[in-house]
Amino acid sequence: MSVVTEEKPIKKSYKYVGTRPVRHDGLEKVNGKARFAADMTKPRMIHGHVLRSPYAHARILSIDTTEAEAMPGVKAIVTESDFPLPKKDEGFPHRSKNLIARDKVRYEGQAVAAVAAITRRQAKEAAAKIKVNYEELPSVITVDQAMAEDAPLVHEDLLTEGLDSEPTKPSNIAKRSFFEQGDIEAGFANADVVFEHEFTTKVVHQGYIEPHACVADTSRDGRSEIWCSSQGHFMVRSATANMLGWETSKIKVIPAEIGGGFGGKTTIYLEPLAVKLSEKADRPVKMVMSRDEVFRATGPTPGTKIRVKIGAKKNGEITAGKAWLAYESGAFPGPWGMLGGWCVFACYNIPNIQIEALEVVVNKPVNIPYRAPSAPMAAFATETVIDQIAQDIKMDPIELRLLNAVEEGDYNHSEMVGTFQLIGLKETLEAIRNHPNYKIPLGPNQGRGIATGFWFNIAESSSATVNLTEDGTAVVITGSPDIGGSRASMALMAAEELGIDPKLIQPLVGDTEAVGFTDVTEGSRATFATGLAVVRACQKLVIQLKERACIMWECSVDDIEWVDGSAVHKEGKEPPLALAEITSKAKKTGGPLNATGSLEAKGQGPAFSTQMCDLEVDPETGKVTILRYTTAQDAGTAIHPSYVEGQMQGGVAQGIGWALNEEYIHNKKGRMENPGFLDYRIPVASDLPMIETIIVEVPNPKHPYGVRGVGEVGIVPPVPAVANAIHDAVGIRLRDAPMSPVKILKALNQKNGASG
């Protein structure tokens, strides 16, 4: 289903943009030919294995590799002494300190050493022979533990940034961010109803199916080639070089296909270890994580504790919003609380706001992005309180949101957006309200929940090269790994610009030496920013094509226009000259036709999603069954609607897992007890109904096709939508995710006990 808004600028009519061709990489993906990092083999290749910390927090007193070095098949061992700390980290701060433990281990699973041997088994057995002498230290696992008076310090020298006065002693609170507008007390005084509640969420993992893997081949001339799966191979190159103290140009990264990322592959864990092991062993080294390692050592999303207070008048007008947000950041500081603070009230016009956000270090893996990082937890709090206000003032929950929803010209408190340009929040709310599913009657123990969500999206740098071939096809090379169908969207935009069928476009992902620098595929940016680079390259090619036609026709370029894939003489003096005819004569008219496009993109469009969840609660077991799920999202323009729908459905599926099942479970020593998909349960197909999608199209005025990012915002509303539906079904308000059967039964028993 597609909704095109009539009040806003209507999109142009396109020939190829908005169609649904079979994805160019589809066949290889389904027949097993697509090559992922773990598929790579090289002559003389050996295997690496990482020795990881068994403790959540411990001082390293000594490391002795003598016995391990003498083990059969061992070719190389690395420890922290092989990786001098860079003066400044590339990209994520503290990435180099996370790569391999130095003075202390700060979470269970942190790398301590790595071994390369002829076989994986030999490498694993040798790693077990490395003698690490630890002094175990008390650990902090939750924000409450970490912020307690006299809590054990994850970093003895960490002073809190952002305080009103200079901190006098170290703390586990890395940073405080504070935003304020209006008069918060006057705002609450002006309200007829005020609700304030505390919410908690647990650490959850991105859950990509493909574990991290790479092959590094370091040659004696000091250069290294890396094959790996990531969301950005230029990031892999610069971060690896940074951690090794090498020049960036000494490393070439060849992107493998990627089996899911969702933000989890925007950093690196293995590559510098593999490069160094390869250098020492003088052989290619392959490293592949197990699922256990993925859970224990790679970045999940933060656990949180959030208090939200919202006041409103009886007519539904929100007068004030106050939020206190404490986000775990794992073992090293991150920006997660600040991002949550920016998102917590972003959907609404609230005149009086006060937000305090804290980044709290704990003895758990370093948190990194997961689809719209930090926004889902903040939305859980805000959207649940909004639902309670709607119930209290007896207003339809969509009407309440529409009454307060931001639109073009409204100011966003986050500083990231400033004044909103054309946005589609209200259109997503209206799309859900007008959908037939909103009126389907519900039975006993069944409930309906509404929630909405916001995400900024990101722009950054992108490059593209387009080569036209002799037979009239186009090879489009970009630097963006394809994690969500970007090959198809690049091909469609190129087809639209050049005027040729998308089947004639071959979209490729180039390595770090085959295409210009491109930032990570993150922040829903690839179709927006890399798409802009493709459009620019194609527009240059159209100019070249017209010039070649004018050589062939012996006329002025002013006499020619480019129409539907052909040069057309404005006065009709020549029959149209198709692109393939021009490229077939390229050698006679000046040589090969190619062009590049590159830019530091600006003007990404903020994304909004409104979702409706229908579910049933089994009062005997507490089990929740999702009956129907409907999601409306502003895509700006859907370049390839199938992949937009796929992103929407994927975000919802992951959000439902977050809402109902997923959580890291740690014991008192800070060790994870469920590092596998049997015990850490992500939704499977049989857990979910077909998720119904409504693509709303309010074009982004800063993109030639109106593109917004679509990859992330879909995960923001599910947790509160499920919570609100559970309340609608059985009358209990759950404010601690995941809302597992145990918690539901406990709340039902309390409710029934209280009423009975």
Partner 1 sequence: MIKVFLGSNLKNFTNGVEELELEATSVKSLIAEMDRRYPGIADDLESGFALAIDGEVIANPGYEKLAEVSEVRFISPMQGG
Binding site for partner 1 (CB under 8 A): 88, 92, 161-162, 164, 166, 176-179, 206, 262-264, 266, 335, 338-339, 368-373, 415-419, 455-461, 522-525, 600, 602-604, 711-712
Take residue 382 and report the two structure tokens written for it.
Answer: 């805000």
Task: Say which residues have a Cβ less than 8 Å from residue 313's Cβ, sequence separation at least 6.
Answer: 190, 191, 192, 193, 319
Q: Which is nearer to partner 1, 267 or 724 (CB)?
A: 267
Q: Which is nearer to partner 1, 143 or 339 (CB)?
A: 339
State the nearest-atom distance from the C-beta of 92 to partner 1, in Å: 8
Take residue 194 and report the two structure tokens written for it.
Answer: 């005020």
State the nearest-atom distance from the C-beta of 236 to partner 1, in Å: 16
Beta strands in 142-192 (DSSP E): 173-181
State the nearest-atom distance from the C-beta of 693 to partner 1, in Å: 20
State the nearest-atom distance from the C-beta of 270 to partner 1, in Å: 20
The tokens 């639109």 sit on which residue? 407
CB atoms within 10 A of CB 30: 9
State the nearest-atom distance from the C-beta of 264 to partner 1, in Å: 8
State the nearest-atom distance from the C-beta of 715 to partner 1, in Å: 8
Strand ranges across the sheet with 131-136? 104-105, 58-64, 131-136
Q: Which is nearer to partner 1, 329 or 724 (CB)?
A: 329
Question: How far does CA 619 lie from the centroid of its chain?
Answer: 35
The SS3 assignment for 314 reads coil
State the nearest-atom distance from the C-beta of 655 to partner 1, in Å: 13
State the nearest-atom distance from the C-beta of 340 to partner 1, in Å: 12
State the nearest-atom distance from the C-beta of 416 to partner 1, in Å: 6
> Distance (Å, rounded) from C-alpha 530 to C-alpha 489?
10
Q: Which is nearer to partner 1, 92 or 562 (CB)?
A: 92
State the nearest-atom distance from the C-beta of 419 to partner 1, in Å: 5
Q: Which is nearer to partner 1, 335 or 704 (CB)?
A: 335
Q: Which is nearer to partner 1, 105 or 174 (CB)?
A: 174
What are the backbone angles phi and psi of residue 535, rounded to the nearest 5°?
A: -60, -45
Q: Is the dihedral of CA 704, 705, 706, 710 positive or negative?
A: negative
- Concatenating the DSSP letter of every residue in 354-402 gives EEEEEEEE-SSPPP---SSTTHHHHHHHHHHHHHHHHHHTT--HHHHHH
Q: Which is nearer to partner 1, 418 or 441 (CB)?
A: 418
Q: Which is nearer to partner 1, 364 or 525 (CB)?
A: 525
- Residue 637 amino acid letter: T
For the CA atoms of 254, 472, 24, 27, the dihedral, rounded to the nearest 10 degrees, stands at -100
Task: Say which residues have a Cβ less than 8 Å from residue 701's Cβ, sequence separation at least 6.
Answer: 9, 421, 422, 603, 605
Whether a cis peptide bond, with omega within 30° of 0, leads into 718 is: no
> Distance (Å, rounded) from C-alpha 168 to C-alpha 160?
9
State the nearest-atom distance from the C-beta of 458 to partner 1, in Å: 5
Strand partners, 196: 309
- Residue 34 amino acid letter: A
- Evaluate whether 201 touches 303 at the Cβ level (below 8 Å): yes
Q: Which helix (H) or strand (E) holds 254?
A: strand 251-255
**Crossing angle, helix 375-392 and helix 718-730, to 10 degrees?**
30
Q: Which is nearer to partner 1, 299 or 316 (CB)?
A: 299
State the nearest-atom distance from the C-beta of 485 to partner 1, in Å: 16
- Evaluate whether 192 touches 320 at the Cβ level (below 8 Å): no
Take residue 312 and report the two structure tokens written for it.
Answer: 């409103």
- Evaluate whether 674 touches 291 at the Cβ level (below 8 Å): no
The SS3 assignment for 422 reads coil
Strand partners, 739: none
State the nearest-atom distance from the C-beta of 356 to partner 1, in Å: 9
- Evaluate whether 333 touches 93 at the Cβ level (below 8 Å): yes
- Evaluate whether 230 touches 260 at the Cβ level (below 8 Å): no
